[in-house]
Structure formats: structure tokens, C-alpha cells
Structure 1
Amino acid sequence: MRGTGLYKQLIRYGQQLQYTDKHFFYRRIRAEFEQNKNLQDKQAIQFQLGKKLDKSQVPVIQEKDLEEKFVRGWGPGGQAVNTTSNAVFLRHIPSGLFVKCHESRSLENNRKIARKHLITKLDNLVNGLDSVENRQKAIDSAKKERKKEKSRRKYQQLKLIKEGGVEEKENNSEESNELGKNDLDKLDEK
């Protein structure tokens, strides 16, 4: 499976699709190949291949390694929030990391959210730049840069067209002036 062979195989595969919009599939394949056809730098190629986030390196948290406390809530909401113990304080004993969560009024939702936040924190600690969060930020940053570059090129082209259009208008007005002079000359001759 090399460059064009892969492209042809994907197009053939698209012909067999039954439950997917074939035109969307073809446009998507063409767009991806068109966008990435000039990649030669190994890092750029790896980045394109690594767009799908590999979550296999994310650490798994054991329940026995957690210390969980339910504390009273805080923030806006008045007495209803301040008197109920629906905020979660979750500490990972081996690493010493902790999370406080009071994003919803439900204790169960806060427990789930706290675990997600703790896993993210632990992933950042263990994997550093290779953590899921950092890779997602890199992908988002690259997308934003590509979008800015595309927008910059678009406006640059529009500016060139506009400048070219202004010159054409000037040429047209000079031609119309010449036509007007010729018409006057013809009238004078009569």
C-alpha cells in the first residue's frame, strides 16, 4: 500500500458503502490527500498520523488508591448550596494529587467529574507533553494556525484582485474617455 495505491483502494472502498453518503466520503478522501500531499518532514507526517489520540498511555486509577471526602459546597446559590455536602474532595494517595469538584448540584455527577479531572491531572504528571490533553492542545493550536494562514492567504488574494480590479477600472475609464473623444470627433466631422 503506497501513495496512489492507497488512494485507489479507498475510492474502491467508497463505492461499496451502503449507509454512508458516498459523495461526502469521496470529498473527504480527496481533501485529506490534497492537504497532505506535500508533506515531507517526518515530524509533520507523524503529527498528521498522530491526530487520532492514543489513550492507551493514560494511567488507570484504582479505587483503593483514592481517598474521597464529601464536603459542603461553595459559590453562588445561597443556603441551598452551602448546607449540602455535595462537593467532592478526591486525593490520589500514591501521587499526592488532589481535586476539588463542585460543578453540579448532584453528588454522583461531581464524583464522576472529579475522577475525570484527577485522571487528566495524573496523565499530565506521568506523561507530560505526551498526555492526551497536551496532544489535543497541540492539534487545536495547529488547526488554528492553519486556519489563520488560510484566512491570511485569502485576504491577500482578495487584495491583489481588488488592486487588479482597480487598475482594470482605471483602464476602462481611460478607454471610455478615449471613446468619448472619438465620439466627439465624429460629431465635429458631421
Structure 2
Amino acid sequence: MTFKIEIRGMSFFYSDDGTRKYRTLAMAEVYLPDLALTLRDVRLAWSPDRGFVAHAPTSPKTAPSPMIQWYHRGEFAQQLAQELRTMYERMGGKMPVDLSVKEQRAGAAARRIIEKATSRRDHVTGKVIGADPFDDAPIEYMTVPATFHVHEDASDTEAVEGLARTLSVEHQEAARVLG
């Protein structure tokens, strides 16, 4: 089965960091006239083992599932990848070159060293970890003069009243700080 596919625009993708098994070469806007559907940010990717692949647009990381998806080895995906590759070649895109295993490992190691030096990232979310917001917060100190009276004939009532006074000072201080 052949699909009517129009590529309305394509731009080279220079920001691929090389951390995945495939390289993103270009981003395209694809129009499917039979469905009256426009797909933006369709990625033309290349990997040494699978060749050229058309990846569906991805949703933000906060979305629970992809916006749209298709089977990457299906007829539609293969035809789309072929048309994207043809457009990529006509625009003057350079065909990817297989790197040796040694070159791949050296490049990945260099990237990791640079990434560690420039930013720390959270291991779960991948977001950049900034300065701790509590590092620069001023610490408030308050000195309250305390008077103690020790009586030989002190009763439990006085002890309870003293404890109540102490706790009320702490409550007043907490109320003052919390506003």
C-alpha cells in the first residue's frame, strides 16, 4: 500500500548529542492529504543497524503518553523514511559515516566528562541541579533571658506552671517566626 505523503518543510538537526543509539539528522513537517493531517517535528534518524528511520513527534516529558505513534518497521514508516531521506539528500544533507567502536567510545567518554564539568543532573528526572535555595537563607537567632528559681519546698504545681510558661514562650516564638 502506498500513502500520499507531502513534505512541506525540513530543517537540519545539529543538536544531536550522540547519547542515543541513533542520530537525529533532520526535523520535518509532513502533510498527509488523505487524512488532512499535518505532523510537525517528524524526525529523520539514522542508526548503523537499522539505517534510516522516521520517528514520530514526541510529546513533552510531562505527558503520560505520546501524541501520535506508528510502527517504525511498518509500510507507512518505511515509505515516510524513504521520502524524508530523499528530501534530506536533495537539501545537501551529509550521509552519516559509521564510526569505529573505539571512536564511538572516545566520543561518548569526552561528552560525559564535559557534561559532568558543566552541570550536575538529577539521576531520576535528568534536570539540572542548581544551588540549594537554603544555603543563602539567613538564620534568625533570638536570645531570651531565663530566670530560674529553685525552692526547697517546690511543688508539682509550680513545675507544671513553669513548663507551661516555657512552652508558651516556644509557641510565641514559633508564631512570630511563621507569621
Bin the TM-score by the shorter chain.
under 0.3
Report which of the two has the higher share of strand.
2
TM-score, scaled relative to structure 2: 0.20
TM-score, scaled relative to structure 1: 0.19
